[in-house]
Structure formats: C-alpha cells, structure tokens
Copies of this chain bind each other. A is one copy, B any other.
Amino acid sequence: MDFKKILANDHVKPYLLKARYGIEKESQRVDLSGNLAKTDHPKSISIRDKHPYIQRDFSETQIELITPVTESLKELFDYLAAIHDVAYRSMSDNEMLWPLSMPPQLPEKEEDIVIAKLKSSESVQYRQSLAHSYGRRKQMLCGTHFNFEFGDELLQALFNVQLEIKDYQQFKEEIYLKVTRNYLHYQWLVTYFYGASPISEKNFFEEDSLNEAVRSIRCSKYGYTNSDDVQVSYSSIQNYLSDLSLMIKRGLLVEEKELYAPIRLRGGHHVSDLADHGVHYIELRNIDLNPFETYGISYKQVEFLHLFLIYLLWKDEGNDCDEWVKMGELYNNAVALEHPLEHTQFEIEAKKIIDEMEHVVEILDLSISDTLFVHLREMLMDPSKTLAGRLYKESQKSSQSEVATYIAKENYKKSWSKPYQLTGFTDMELSTQILMFDAIQQGIELEVLDRQAQFLKLQLKDHVEYVKNGNMTSKDNYVSTLIMENKTVTKKILQRHGFRVPMGEEFLTIEQALRSYDLFSTKPFVVKPKTTNYGLGISIFKEGANYEDYQKAITLAFKEDSSILIEEFIKGTEYRFFVLDGQVYAVLLRVPANVKGDGIQTIEDLVIQKNRDPLRGRDHRTPLENIQLGELEKLILKGQGYRIDSILDKDEIVYLRENSNISTGGDSIDVTDQIPDDYKKIAVDAVSALEVKICGIDLIIENIAVPAANKNAYGIIEANFNPSMYMHIYPYKGKSRRLTKHIIHYLFPELSQSQESFVKQGAPLVKREFTTVSC
C-alpha cells in the first residue's frame, strides 16, 4: 500500500494528528537519602491490587503510575502530574521517587529485594517465576511505557481513501504492523536521543559486566530482555501469535506478557484479544526514565514519538520483514552500548531520518512545536545534550546517585509545596481538585467531562457517578436545590417544620416595602435583595432605623434584584455546618480579616507576615485569601483609630473587614468538636426538612453553651446547595475535615467494604481501553 500517497490525501490530512495516548511509568521508592525504601507500599493506595492509577510492579518498592487514556498530550501530562501528586502525598513524607531507570543501590543479597506483597497469589507466583528466570535485580529496572492509538477518525479516513483492503480490522492490522516493524528497525534512534541509563548502581550486576558508561543499560542486551531464543515474526498477527504460542510451548516464556519487546502490539487485556479483535493500540516500552523531567518524560519527547510513529507509517520498510526487525535489534544494541558522550555510529542515517521527518511535517501540514527539530539536531550534533550525555556529565561532578538524590528531592519538595493543589488541574476549583485527588487515591476512575464547568465522571466498576463543583451529585433531588436557591421558599419550609428563621417579608415594589416601615422600624432588621449572594445591596440595622435610612436601604436592595426581603436581624455568631447524608462532618467559624499585634510590628507588617502562610493566595487558588490593604481596609482601620503604620499592642486584635468572608481575607476556624450535639441535630434536622443530602447550612447562635431548645437560641440564615469544602479541609486554625473523602465514600458506599470482598469479586476494576500488564 502506498502510505505516502494516502497520508497526503486531503480527506485524511485534517485528522493526521488525532490520536489517543497513555503512559505507564515505574519508579523505585527511596528514603530521603536515596536508599531503597524498606517500607511497604502506601496503605492509602494499596486498597486493591488493580488500582487504576497507582500499582506495584515487580517489587514492593516499585511504584507504577498509570494515566488514563487521553486524546491530547496536554491532558496526558495533566493526569501524569496529578497522579504523581497523589502518589507522593500518599507515601510517607520521608520517602520519594527515584528518578532513574537504573535502580538505586540494591541489597547485597538478592532475596532482600522484596517481591510486591500483592493479595492475588497468582500475581505473586508470576513474580516469583520472573525472579527465577531473570533474577530479582533486573526486575528492578524502571521505565516508561507509552501507549499509542491512531485516532479512529484518522484510521477511518485512511481506510476510506484506499481500495486495496476491504476489511477495516485487517486494514488497521496492516497499519500497526508496519509501524511496529519500522519501530523495531529504527528503535536505536529513540535509544540515542532518550536512552538515560548510562551507569548502574551497586549490586545491580552480580559482577560488573560493563566497564564503561553507555547510553542505556536498560535498552541494551544487559537490560530487560528475553533470551536470544525468543523470536517472533511481525509479518502478520497470525504469525506473531503462533510464534508466541510456540515460545510458551517450548518453555521459553511463562506467559505471553513475558515477551519483552521494545514495542508491543495490543488488542486488549489479554494477548488473545489480538486474535479476536485485532490490534487496538501499540505500547512503546523502550523509554528510559528522563531524569530531568519531574514526571519522567517530557512533552517534546512524546511529541517526537507521535511524529516518529506517523513517519514510520509513511516510511517504506525493508522487503524481508523478519530480517528488517532483526537488524533493528542489532543496531539498537550497538547504539545502546555506545558511550554517552560519543557520536553515534548511525549519525548520517539519523540525520537523514530527521530531515525526512521534517519533510513529512511539511508535506502533511502537521502542526508541531517550533523547536522540536532544532532540539533533535542539537542532540544529534552534540551527544552531551542527549539524556544519557547530560546525566553522565552531571554525574561526573559528584556521582550519579547524588545527582539522582538531588533531583528526587526537588521533585519531592515540589509535590509537597502546595498540598491542597492537584498539579495538572490547578485551573479548576480547589474543592474539585481535592476531590479529584481523593478519587485518584481511592482508585476511582476519574474523567473530566468539562473542565471549565468542573464536571467530573467517577467510576468504580459499573458504578458511575457524575459530580459537578465537587458536591453537586445525583444524591440530591432537583427541586430541593431549587428550594435552597430561593430564600423565601427555604424560610417558609424551615419555619413550617418548626425551625427558627428570621421573620420577614418579601416585597416586589419600593412602595410596598415602604408601607411596611412600622413592622420593622423598632427592631434589629436586615434589608436584602432576594437572590444575590455576594453581600451586594444588603443593609443591616442592628437597632432599628429611621424612615430615611429605611428608604435608602430599600432602594439599594432593589438595585440588585426585582424583589427584596426585609428580615429580622438575629444576633450572635454565624457558623457553617457541613451536613452530608444526615450527619454533620464539619462546623466552621469564619472571622473577618484580622491581625494580632506583637507590640513591635505595624499593621502593614503584620498583614505581610500573615499573608506569608502558604495557605494564603489570590483568586481562590489557595484555601485562604491574602488580606488586602486597600481603601476599604484603610477606612475600616481609620474608623477604629488606626492607620496601616500603627503598631499594635501584644495580642491586640484588629479587624480589617466587617464581613467574615474567606474571599476577603477572613480566617476559617474549625470548631466541629466544640459545637454541642444539640446544635448539630438542629442542622441535620433542618437539612432533612429540605430533603437535602449535601448541604452547608448557616446557623446564627448567640451562645453555644445555651441549649439549642431554648427560645431563640439560634436562627437559620440560609442553606447552600454547593457549599465550599476546601475551607473545612484547610482551615486557618483547627482540625482539617476531609469532606471530599466523605463525599466519595457517600457516592461509592462499596468502597467501605473490606478489601477482601473486593478481591473476591475479582472482576476487572474498571473498563480501561489501554490495559496495564505489570512486569
């Protein structure tokens, strides 16, 4: 088939870069000095052997991170980053991930390498057989597997513009087989650019096999390879599969998945899926960990691989395909064993390939990063710019192990620096980020359906739940949320259920409201627009009001909405109760922006100091907001006789705002354990009267020491159907309440079943399209 021609067809071109990606990345857990960890796999993520994102590979210390399938590289890296965050923060805080494919110093005795303590005895047996065949040391190598599938629209378009093959599945096979054979032939190019295992650490080799540094031990014959007798043909799927069967029959392989080729044809979960359903995608396995990237692989690397695969489809191959593949293996081993600072013996060939790739980009109108080719040529001209070259050069200054430990520590710090954020998704709302973190950690399959809209799909086996904004779920009924949205209706319902709410009336016209002056004039009352939520248009009269002020307040409120409420003002402290499924999980007190004096610093200094808290920031990207020193704050200070250069007495507290919103620099203080049960019961019962499952309900309480049953002990201000969760999880003071985890367990009660029952059920955890095969 003339792929050069059909790839350039106008009906194909728009889809050329459509693809689906996935990454699996292994790393060794080490302590903060870079020694192999002696601890078990973290408990919080060892819920099941088949965690969709974080598993153990061969050994107990070998963490494998697995992204879901994505349709863009951006998404791929977002997930990779996020899963790294979860892995890091699930590990003990004195452990980190080793950034190299070569493991850190291994135990002297091979038996001290601990095989992964999996629950499935089959999985453990398989690992024992690997240990027996290859030795435990070799199994400690780590790398990145890159799963790649051509977009279906692309394959369809290609299929449609050719006439030779009538069957779509067969056509797909041809495509993937050609790419696979060419990849095997040209794999040395990847090894040259991205090989990154030049030197082994102590006890990797039983006896030192290599005297000199190389480009990639892992990709060479000293790495992770089958015995020379293991040979399969890539001439057709049939031949490939029958060769594989033969290898097993002859005892050369225990299972089909033991075939350690640099690229693997994938049909599904089992090799047999290939025969049944054809090729689904391919898995590139010869990618060493990139030590210079936090997540072990760079965006450009993946971009290169994608482009390389298109190029390999375009590029003619040798006539004898088995020979073509065999040559590739030889070339690759040669390149892998070259010195990392040495030019490759295939430099001319490499240059030609790069030129041709650039040509393909041009004729196919592919849009790629501007500097990709510049960068590739640089590496070609200067071997010290390849990954192996860079690592080797760095290591010369101290040792590879020290370099790796330093890098690991930087990554470690980065992952812990903003524990409330989920890297990759920091543009999303904080509560959603935290919920996503917990979902990943709990092994819930996560998909962002609409990023801007904070719309998530969570899935555990066949159980799907959709979540918007962290806590808008299927558990709440529609009309109840509409009730909460409507203050008048909420109050009416709560009042009829016997709860105290501020008495008041709704008005549709200024005239109507003015006529009711006598009803309110002498009591504490509030005038507010009916539906605004941001404090706009609200006037509070704590001691009643004269007619003029009453009139002004009404006019102000009507500017914000077409109907207003005039309500009794209830004195006391406002508490936010977070109620979930009939239980109070957190109670929060919000205090207006303030500083506490030390007798030395000015108010401005104190604000600057308080804003240094890593929990504080701007624009809701942190659990707390910076305290501002704008006109309003200065005015409020002035009202109290202060300026920003005033020095406060020790322990003197000055407020810079009148409202207690967290968004204007207020403090959040967890008081869950201090609030008596009778008030919690009021909150729970009120939420139940509204028939709501997830609710943030605001109670004003004058004195929590007074029983809730006392007359006017409390008043309910409002009920919120999308209550902020992050402020409870990262309060300024007090205990953190991980509400997102409660939400997940509420949505997936099956999570709370014992680990045992999960194992017993046995079915594959989630339907994933790229399936992981460990080891």
Contacts and interface: CB of A to CB of B under 8 A. Distances in A.
A519 B14 contact: yes
Contact of A477 (B478, B492, B721): B478
Count identical subunits in the complex: 2
B453 A489 contact: yes
Interface string A455-472: 100000000011110001
Nearest to A517: B14
A508 B450 CA distance: 12
A14 B520 CA distance: 9
A71 to B, nearest CB: 10
A477 B479 contact: no
Contacts of A474: 477-480, 691
A478 B474 CA distance: 6
A583 to B, nearest CB: 19
Interface residues of A, number: 39
Q: Say whether chain A's binding surface is mostly helix, strand, loop, or mixed.
A: mixed
A475 interface: yes
A516 B17 CA distance: 12
A371 interface: no
A715 to B, nearest CB: 17
Nearest to A516: B14
Interface in A482-506: 482-483, 486, 488-489, 492-493
A467 B450 contact: no
Contacts of A473: 477-479
Given A478-B477, A482-B468, A483-B466, A14 B452 contact: no
A415 interface: no
B367 A515 contact: yes
B488 A13 contact: no
Contacts of A453: 486, 488-489
A516 B16 CA distance: 12
A598 interface: no
Interface string A224-264: 00000000000000000000000000000000000000000
A478 B488 CA distance: 20
A7 to B, nearest CB: 15
A476 interface: yes
Interface of A: 13-15, 367, 449-450, 452-453, 455, 465-468, 472-483, 486, 488-489, 492-493, 508, 515-516, 518-519, 562-563, 691, 721
The 8 closest A-B pairs by CB, nearest first: A14-B518, A474-B477, A476-B478, A466-B479, A449-B489, A14-B519, A474-B479, A468-B482
14 contacts: A367-B515, A449-B492, A450-B488, A452-B562, A453-B486, A453-B488, A455-B483, A465-B479, A468-B482, A473-B479, A474-B477, A476-B479, A478-B478, A478-B481
